[in-house]
Amino acid sequence: MRLLVAYDGSPFHGFALNDGVRTVAGDLTAAIRRVLGEEVVLTAAGRTDRGVHAWGQVVSFDVPAPDGRGPDLARLQRSVNGLCRPAIVVRAAELVPGDFDARFSAIFRRYRYRVLNREFPDPFLAATTWYVPAPLDLRTLRLACDPLIGEHDFSSFCRRPRPGPGLPDPTLVRRVRSAAWHDLGDGLLQFEITANAFCHQMVRSIVGTHVEIGAGRRSAGSLLGTLRARDRSTAGQLAPPHGLCLWEVGYPDHGTLP
């Protein structure tokens, strides 16, 4: 099965299962198990961090189908939403071929990060935007997007994972398809970036560095040097998690959910 899932990351310690704390996968797994009466193991397209939101997260799992039809999708969606709302909502559900995997079948992920850049904050946007009162130059922010496009080693913008025993360091090379800043009006800015995959804290590190550039504390041209340095200490601050949202995940051969 494949589910398209949206969630407010505020009450969760990230997506992945983690004993002793509340996670998106923990709540979702418990709800699906209760509805189906079966144990399930979820695979997610992206393991979002604590406090990060999602509109287009995709999860997959195997379900028994002795009659060849599988479970009632409408009932499953309705029942899981009843157990998980309002923090988690299944936007769509469908049966997919057995070789589908939410993580490994994906060909791109798209994230959005929102910054509220004006004199006064907004209590109704506080949970989903990073409030930055210092004026940011949108033209400079857009110039700082150009070096990101293409295939690069993003070591300067990622939290380096620990390799397993006897294994080489995991690659931090990623291919960015697009990156752009948009003015949504009334001081609301949105950074959107699409890549084949992302490493840990990559988007938040890029946004934090961009905000320093937009505020005039760095030049737009400095971002290329930061990228080439492959050194996390050369990048800027880490943007807070609550402004980030996993917006969309793309797949090549199994259709698209709404």
Model confidence at 257: pLDDT above 80: no
pLDDT tens across 178-202, in order? 999 999 999 999 999 999 999 999 9
Model confidence at 166: pLDDT above 80: no
The CATH number covering residue 152 comes to 3.30.70.660
Model confidence at 42: pLDDT above 70: yes
Same domain, residue pair 118 and 189: yes
Same domain, residue pair 168 and 92: no
pLDDT tens across 51-103, in order? 999 999 999 999 877 666 778 899 999 999 999 999 999 999 999 998 999 99
Same domain, residue pair 50 and 178: no
Same domain, residue pair 46 and 69: yes
Range of the domain at 152: 108-249
Same domain, residue pair 145 and 178: yes
DSSP for the chain, please give it: -EEEEEE--TTSS-SS--TTS--HHHHHHHHHHHHHSS----EES----TT-EEEEEEEE-----TTSS-S-HHHHHHHHHHHHTTTEEEEEEE---TT--TTTT--EEEEEEEEE-SSS--TTTTTTSEE--S---HHHHHHTTGGGSEEEE-GGGS-PPPPPTT-PPPP-EEEEEEEEEEEEETTEEEEEEEES---TTHHHHHHHHHHHHHTTSS-TTHHHHHHHHT-GGGS-PPPPGGGEEEEEEE-SSS----
Same domain, residue pair 92 and 113: no
| Catalytic annotation, pick one of 8, 19, 27, 49 | 49
Q: What's the confidence (pLDDT) of residue 240?
A: 98
Q: Does residue 231 carry a catalytic annotation?
A: no
